[in-house]
Amino acid sequence: MNRTTPSAKTAGGDFAGLAAAADPRLFTPGPLTTSRSVKQAMLRDVGSWDKEFAAVVVRVRESLLAVAGVSRRQGYEAVLMQGSGTFAVEALVASTIPPHGRLLVIANGAYGERTAKIAAVQRVAVTVLRCAENQIPSVDEVDRLLSEDRSISHVAIVHCETTSGILNPIDEIGPVVRRHGRVFCVDAMSTFGAVPIDFAACGIDYLVSSANKCIEGVPGLAYVICRRDPLLASEGWARSLSLDLLDQWRYMERTGLFRFTPPTHVVLAFAQALEELEREGGLAARAARYQANHRRLLGGMREMGFREYVRPDLQGYIITSFLCPEDSHFEFVEFYSRLHDKGYIIYSGKLSDAACFRIGNIGRIFESDIEALLAAIARTLREMGVRLPPGVA
Ligand SMILES: Cc1ncc(COP(=O)(O)O)c(C=O)c1O
């Protein structure tokens, strides 16, 4: 045993092994099923002021820029933030919008609405452009709003609105925002690392994501990848001390460390997850695995008679909302709980206008896991007395 990779065997027994063996498979938008080696990377205690930890922080920030396909030379930076994804969205809204600025939030689901709520709580002037949860926003309407309202300084949109699974057209909206000279902010929480995003072509100024989504780390860490110029321009605008993005970046630049207690174990796991992403073949390979998972999931669910909430041409390959069947024997809580007892965790719906449940196909899962889930779903429906189309195995 070497000093840096302690065995999971302790006086308390092989707890890591037991936990992994007993763990269900997660078909959720995160926290996700992670590899054993990502979990094992946390079995260490490192000093938050230690140079070894500082080196990991530097490596993580560089890897994030590499996954994003941008560099410091091109004027981009990666800032890590303690907490879940919402903390980084709040840091962005609370500290990078000028006192007399206005945020336009384009919303077609709960996460867009959350960004608008953050703006309201932080006393940031906000305009919300809403569209139905199964529709993408109109680029012309964004163009018109930006022409009409000169007070809008920043525009925020969610890339994959995890509420439904819809993929918003950031490549069409971003260039419009840039043409109007406004700052473009993308919540890519559930896509970064597995859906290609061209920062330059989309005109992205700030992108937010978190450790426990497509990079397949554990929860507790979020990050913002941004252009240095707007970040530097935000001097003095922070409405929060702990969520001050510019101050966090400055401190990280100066010391290599976090300003306040970092989630050391989570950062170690994230560094391991980033290495595993690279070993898998990078973003392209991960995208291919998730796409294959998604295709298998859709095929199997459709065979059982399920229908998706989002039109196929708007649906991303991260998470899918399925309409609850109209069969009187179907009841979501029972369905969920029977699947849980078989070792499969799915997700409830989060839509305002349709009874749905969600199945994610991201995380350390493969087509064989999707096959196993589909078989468990078929078995569960039979147990509940829900009628299946003829010929379903
Ligand atoms: C698109 C999007 N934005 C924001 C969030 C909020 O992240 P968290 O729950 O980590 O705070 C999520 C969570 O799933 C998300 O999918």
Q: What is the pLDDT of residues 269-303, one digit of tens each?
A: 999 999 999 999 999 999 999 999 999 999 999 99
Residue 21 confidence (pLDDT): 58
Task: Taking residues 224-233, report their average pLDDT.
Answer: 98
b/e per residue, 220-256, with b = 16+ CB within 10 A?
bbbbbbbbeebbeebeebbbeebbbbbbbbbbbeeeb
Helices (H), the chain: 15-22, 36-40, 51-68, 85-95, 110-121, 139-148, 170-179, 199-202, 228-233, 245-255, 264-280, 282-303, 332-341, 367-384
> How far is residue 211's CA from residue 219's CA, in Å, rounded to a whole number?
6
Please say if the pLDDT value at position 1 is more than 60: no
Query: What is the value of pTM for the model shown?
Result: 0.94
Q: Are strands 76-82 and 221-227 parallel, antiparallel or unpaired?
A: antiparallel
What band does 20 get if pLDDT is binned at 50, 70 and 90?
low
Listing DSSP states for 100-144 in one string gives T-EEEEEESSHHHHHHHHHHHHTT-EEEEEE--TTSPPPHHHHHH
Residue 22 confidence (pLDDT): 76
> How far is residue 338's CA from residue 244's CA, in Å, rounded to a whole number?
44
Task: Taking residues 197-213, report their average pLDDT.
Answer: 98
Please say if the pLDDT value at position 10 is more than 90: no
Same fold, 40-277 and 282-384: no
Task: Taking residues 96-104, report their average pLDDT.
Answer: 98
Please say if the pLDDT value at position 268 is more than 50: yes
Task: Taking residues 115-143, report their average pLDDT.
Answer: 98
What band does 14 get if pLDDT is binned at 50, 70 and 90?
very low
Q: Within 6 Å (CB) of ligand 1, which residues are found?
A: 29-30, 84-86, 111, 158, 162, 187, 189-190, 210
Q: Which atom of ligand 1 is nearest to 212's Cα?
A: 10
> How far is residue 284's CA from residue 292's CA, in Å, rounded to a whole number?
12
What separation in angstroms does the CA of 17 have from each of 3, 10, 24, 219? Answer: 20, 11, 13, 20
Instruction: Look up the CATH number of domain 282-384.
Output: 3.90.1150.10
Q: Nearest-CA neighbor of 210 among 201, 200, 202, 220?
A: 220
DSSP 321: E
Residue 260 confidence (pLDDT): 97
Encoded tokens for 146:
């930006």
Q: Whose CA is nearest to atom 7 of ligand 1?
A: 85
Mean pLDDT (the chain) is 94
Exposed, middle or buried, 51 (CB in 10 Å: 0-12/13-18/19+)? exposed
Q: Which residue among 106, 162, 215, 318 is best mutated to probe the pocket of ligand 1, counting the most ligand atoms within 8 A of its Cβ? A: 162
Phi, psi of 223 (to 5 degrees): -155, 155
User: In the chain, where are the structural domains located?
Assistant: 40-277, 282-384
For the chain, percent of residues with pLDDT exceeding 90: 91
Encoded tokens for 34:
């992670």
Q: Nearest-CA neighbor of 338 among 282, 275, 386?
A: 386
Choose the CATH number for 40-277 among 3.40.640.10, 3.40.190.10, 1.10.10.10, 3.40.50.150.
3.40.640.10
C-alpha of residue 244 to centroid of ligand 1, in Å? 19
pLDDT digits (tens, 9 = 90+) for 60-91: 999 999 999 999 999 999 999 999 999 999 99
Residue 312 confidence (pLDDT): 97
